[in-house]
Amino acid sequence: MASQNDNKNLVCPFCSLHCDDVSVTTDNNQYKVNESNNVCAKKIDTYNLNNKSMLLPKKGAKVVSLSSALEDIRNIIKGHNETLIINHGVDLSGVRSMLNFASQKNYIIDHINSKFLYQNIGVVQRTGYMATSLTEAKNRADVVMVFGNQIFDKSPRLLEKVLGAKNSLYMKKKKELILIGDFSENIIKEIKKKCNVTNVKLDLDLTNDFLNATSLDSSEAVKGLKKSKLSNIKNIINKSKYLVAIWLASDFIKAKNPKKIISSISKYIVDRNILSRAACMPISGSLADATSSQALTWTTGFSSRIKHSEGTFKHDRNAFDSKHLIDNNNVDVVIHISTISPDKLKLNKNVKNIVLGHPNTTFTMAPDIFIPVGIPGIDYEGIMFRTDNVVSVALKSIRGIKLPTTQNILDKLA
């Protein structure tokens, strides 16, 4: 059990930046987050135990023992045809066990955010692509183009740690940030404290037109963008020695053609490298998306949407899409694995729902079986991959509520 009023460093599992400098004070099994970024502090605090936290397995509304819950799961999957495992975020050991379990039973695996992963991967597969790391962006980039307005909400310390970092190694001047999209006045005000800001309130479907118009020899106009502003942006870009473009694929969810937006940015970056230096830095989702795609890729050769059959994992981007499988009644058991998601899990009444989830998990309806599991980085040590895939962080344990890990449960079921 954790000792009283113990100060510890949390390596944060709750977004793909995985900051390793969050201080917490633990008091028995509660913790207080000592982090000046309020969004992060609130986010991390959400996972503290409360009077609704579930620390024991349940069958429907009834509390059951772990051995009975495991037996019920075995009976459910034995009597059904097709089982799908949906990863809503877990550490590397959980993903490895998921693969082992699926390989022994011929199950399908998908990550809840894989549609966004495929929007980015599609560009890598079809056209040229140049990417950089958070470290390069922090130390070298002089101009950063940010596409979409949710990125600072989803990665709350991106400004403090990367774009406006005080301890940048080589950049003595403020970075120029060109924000493309409908950013709130509050966010712009915050960013202005650390960077020079130009906001282009542009329909993101016009990204290709906008990027083409920023080239020096272009005389094209862009709908909704004043000539004087465009000329100012051209000047900033023209002086840049190292331009970085960042986006969060989920920000393009309402766009008519998200793939076109991403491929336009990627092409623009590749073309800029003829005269200067430039790179893409897509930010991956907050549900250990990078950890899932890394582990699946090096183990199976595919980053998501796989099924084990005839002794090997097979991939089909459409056939093994979890939404498509559930909507079309092509699976009858769904195992949801959710150790870091703040979202209400969407369960479907047409299938048997099994949830391995953190103690504060909420659902749209009661699952058939729920087993509470530990949170990586809070309840047990583990590994997760940072958004740029160049760093795997070692998560620590800060409380001692002795819940099983996802790995423990899946290894018992395999």
Binding site for ligand SF4 (CB under 6 A): 12, 14-15, 17-19, 22, 40, 43, 155-157
**Residue whose entry in the numeric block shows the structure tokens 């059959």:** 309
CB of 252 to ligand SF4, least distance (A): 21
CA end-to-end span of the chain: 30
CB of 179 to ligand SF4, least distance (A): 18
CB of 324 to ligand SF4, least distance (A): 30
CB of 33 to ligand SF4, least distance (A): 9
The 10 Å Cβ neighbour count of residue 3 is 9
Q: How far is it, in rounded angstroms, from Cα 41 to Cα 35?
A: 6
* Most distant CA pair in the chain, distance: 71
The 10 Å Cβ neighbour count of residue 184 is 11
Q: How far is it, in rounded angstroms, from Cα 154 to Cα 258?
A: 18
CB of 14 to ligand SF4, least distance (A): 4
Q: How far is it, in rounded angstroms, from Cα 70 to Cα 78?
A: 12
User: What letter represents residue 144's amino acid?
Assistant: V
With a CB cutoff of 8 Å and minimum separation 6, the contacts of 368 are 59, 60, 72, 76, 352, 353, 354
CB of 11 to ligand SF4, least distance (A): 8
Beta carbon nearer to ligand SF4, 337 or 384 = 384
Beta carbon nearer to ligand SF4, 41 or 213 = 41
> What angle (nearest 5°) sits at the alpha carbon of residue 321, between those of residues 319 and 325?
75
The tokens of 216 are what?
């020096």
CB of 15 to ligand SF4, least distance (A): 3
Question: Rg of the chain over CA atoms, in angstroms?
Answer: 23
CB of 189 to ligand SF4, least distance (A): 19
Q: How far is it, in rounded angstroms, from Cα 339 to Cα 87?
A: 9
Q: How far is it, in rounded angstroms, from Cα 54 to Cα 57?
A: 8
Beta carbon nearer to ligand SF4, 16 or 168 = 16
CB of 153 to ligand SF4, least distance (A): 10
CA distances from 88 to 27, 67, 106, 219, 286 (A): 29, 24, 20, 46, 10
User: Of 141, 9, 79, 72, nearest to 332 (Cα)?
Assistant: 79
**183 close to 200: Cβ distance less than 8 angstroms:** no
